[in-house]
Amino acid sequence: MNASENFLAIGSKMFAYYKGLADKAIATLGEEEIHWRANETSNSIAIIVHHMSGNMLSRFTDFLTTDGEKTWRDRDAEFTDTYASKEEMLAAWEKGWACLSATLEGLTAADMAAIVYIRNEGHTVLEALTRQVAHYAYHSGQIVYLAKMIRDKDWQSLSIARGQSTAYNQEKFDQEKDRRFFTDGKTASS
pLDDT at 48: 98
pLDDT at 5: 87
pLDDT at 1: 78
Q: Which CATH class is domain 3-173?
A: mainly alpha
pLDDT at 12: 95
Contact 43, 142 (CB under 8 A): yes
Confidence check: pLDDT of 188 > 80 = no
pLDDT band for position 185 (cuts 50, 70, 90): low
Tell me the domain boundaries of the chain: 3-173
DSSP 82-116: --SSHHHHHHHHHHHHHHHHHHHHH--GGGGGSEE
Contact 82, 92 (CB under 8 A): no
Mean pLDDT of the chain: 93
Total-model pTM: 0.92
